[in-house]
Amino acid sequence: MASSFGSVFCGTQAVARYREGAWSPAVLEPLAPLALHPGAHGLHYGSSCFEGLKAYRHADGSVHVFRLDRHVARMQASADVLCLPKPGTEQLTEMVLSVVDAVRDEIPALPGALYIRPLLLGTLESVGAAGSPSTDAMLVVMTCPVGDYFAGGIRPLRIALEERRGRAAPGFGCVKTGSNYAAALRPVLHAKKAWKADQVLFCPDGDVQETGAANFLLIQEGAVHTKPLDDTILHGITRASVLELAPSLGLRVDESPLTVDELMSRSTDAEAALSGTAAVLTPVGTLIRGGYDHAVGNGQMGPVTKKLRESLMAIQSGEAPDTFGWLRRV
């Protein structure tokens, strides 16, 4: 891919503002810098959250958004935790659909897609409001044409285990809020430098949680094993989709806690993968513990990871029937 994921934008954005207890109607406008007061709450006190979802252009030219309802619900849940004005279901849904419709001609063919990024930001103009919520907000939906995430071929990832600290502050792991990503940067940069790791898998007190921006799955003996949902991890919609899809491929689902010791002993004869909207499923080839490499299985993408990945992508791309009702036509 010529440019990195998410650095090229389509030409239209949708913007709505919340003031005096109500959302304004959304406006579709050319992509442009936003007018923001320098004292905006979200710039100082982290009152912001986002979503990331995709739309696909099928072979017949029709365009479909993947699991829009779930992404809308998750942004509303993030807004609740952050005490931000909550976008209405219809409002956010319509904003996404209208932007996708407006940029329809800019959506690349498969295996490319349109990456859709809604952002909710607290805009109360007060630097004295550290201890109170932002009563004003801005909701923006922007989009990026994205190419094949694995244009250079799929390279299994090197993942370093972080066994002391968690990824997010207590209660915030399930919120898609910017500060969580800033907080994960230093451990990731350290692991990159020290061990050439691609990502860090956060496992505080031995509990295998997730990486900085993807959920973790261990696949072995016909079962997909992953940690149950709680407030320490982001409730990934790719994760949920893989778990819903697994039984139709003859796989069992095991949503139970996974310890680092169990992971290490099982991984020599297993597959492991990260799940998320950007890359769907990415194989994990190596776990790095205490500075030492441990291959997961033979270190390559395993057959079950490949099958799950291809099955999910077939639904997204319209090559397989949408039996779960995951696609919303635009």
Ligand X SMILES: *Cc1c(COP(=O)(O)O)cnc(C)c1O
Residues at the contact surface with ligand X, assessed by CB under 6 A: 52, 176, 210, 213-215, 234, 236-239, 275-277
CB-wise, 135 or 305, nearer to ligand X? 305
CB-wise, 135 or 283, nearer to ligand X? 283
Q: Output the CA angle 151-152-157, nearest 5 degrees.
A: 105
CB-wise, 13 or 282, nearer to ligand X? 282
C-alpha to C-alpha distance for 167 and 51, rounded to whole angstroms: 18
CB of 127 to ligand X, least distance (A): 28
CB of 54 to ligand X, least distance (A): 9
CB-wise, 14 or 184, nearer to ligand X? 184
Q: Is the peptide bond before 145 cis (omega within 30 degrees of 0)?
A: no
CB of 100 to ligand X, least distance (A): 17
C-alpha to C-alpha distance for 239 and 22, rounded to whole angstroms: 34
CB of 67 to ligand X, least distance (A): 8
Query: For residue 213, with 0-12 CB atoms within 10 Å meaning exposed, 13-18 middle and 19 or more buried, which class applies?
Result: buried
CB-wise, 198 or 210, nearer to ligand X? 210
CB-wise, 48 or 275, nearer to ligand X? 275
C-alpha to C-alpha distance for 66 and 315, rounded to whole angstroms: 9
CB-wise, 158 or 176, nearer to ligand X? 176
CB of 299 to ligand X, least distance (A): 24
CB of 218 to ligand X, least distance (A): 16
CB of 274 to ligand X, least distance (A): 8
The encoded tokens of residue 324 equal 């779960």
C-alpha to C-alpha distance for 253 and 69, rounded to whole angstroms: 23
Q: Output the CA angle 78-81-86, nearest 5 degrees.
A: 60
* Phi, psi (degrees; rounded to nearest 5) at 327: -105, 140
The encoded tokens of residue 218 equal 């261990």
Beta strands at 199-202 and 157-162: parallel, antiparallel or unpaired: parallel
Task: Judge contact between 140 and 122, C-beta under 8 A.
Answer: no
For residue 207, the 8-state DSSP code is: B
